[in-house]
Amino acid sequence: MGKSKINAAFKGVLDKGDKAFVPYIMAGDGGLENLKEQILFLEKSGATVVELGIPFSDPVADGPVIQEAGLRSLANGTTLEGVLESLLDWKEERQIPIVLMTYFNLIFSYGIERFAKRCEEVGVDGLIIPDLPFEEDEMVAPIFSKYELALIHLVAPTSPRNRIEQIAKKTEGFLYAVTVKGTTGVRNEYEEGLASYLEQLKEYSSVPVLAGFGVSSPEKVRELGEYCDGVIVGSKIVELLFKGEREEITNIIVASKKSTIQS
């Protein structure tokens, strides 16, 4: 299914006037044996797509909460192949699209084509590779396309306008709009010009624009949802999942729905 599954998931949400919600979780945080339950909980709670992080020893884009989750996962013995095998075991039981967030070294070490083929087999629909420069994406793009995997690009507010436009036109599935300078993590305030930045991205992009990095509460979900197609919430979801505070996760997801935004 791949790209088409992601596209259909977003269309189903946006056509209703709702905003998309993509939670990020770290695979293996709490043990890989709990991954199925975690993802199915997020699906049932109304998530649009799940962004699934693969633990890595040098996570350059991740803030402290996600770094700690990655260390817990590595301590549990989580491997890339272990995550893929887990996803295969219950592939038929989930409807929600799965996007892997992983660093390029893991894909390169696995073998790019072998990795893409394996992703198709286990029901992965797209990839986010934060340390792969946009100019180098041809290393993976043709192979991912062969296996119908969406290659999702990130764009930053510090990027020059022509670069932003190029990335927005080439991304697949959705455009990941980084809202802050720096790594992931909870923020209380956003920088000036964020609204115009997100609205500009919507002009350039033919796929949904989702805001990520620093989104941490129902209020932030509603605030950012005014200017784009949805949000990605990582650190806060990871933290709440680790603490077992499931109701608060559901409340954040519900905030992306039309009825809540209008109230």
Tokens of 129: 């590779």
Strands of 98-101's sheet in order across: 150-152, 126-128, 98-101, 50-53, 20-26, 230-233, 209-212, 175-178, 154-155
* DSSP assignment of 183-233: SS---S---TTHHHHHHHHHHH-SS-EEEESS--SHHHHHHHHTTSSEEEE
* Sign of the Cα pseudo-torsion (262, 154, 80, 70, in order): negative
Say how far apart CA 186 and CA 170 lie, in whole Å. Answer: 29
In this structure, the strands spanning 126-128 and 20-26 are unpaired
**Which residues are catalytically annotated?**
51, 62
**For residue 116, which phi and psi values (nearest 5 degrees)?**
-60, -45
C-alpha closest to that of 256 among 236, 226, 234, 212 = 226
Length of the chain: 263
**For residue 77, which phi and psi values (nearest 5 degrees)?**
85, 20
155 beta partners? 177
User: Can you give the C-alpha Rg of the chain in angstroms?
Assistant: 17
Neighbours of 26 (CB within 10 A): 31
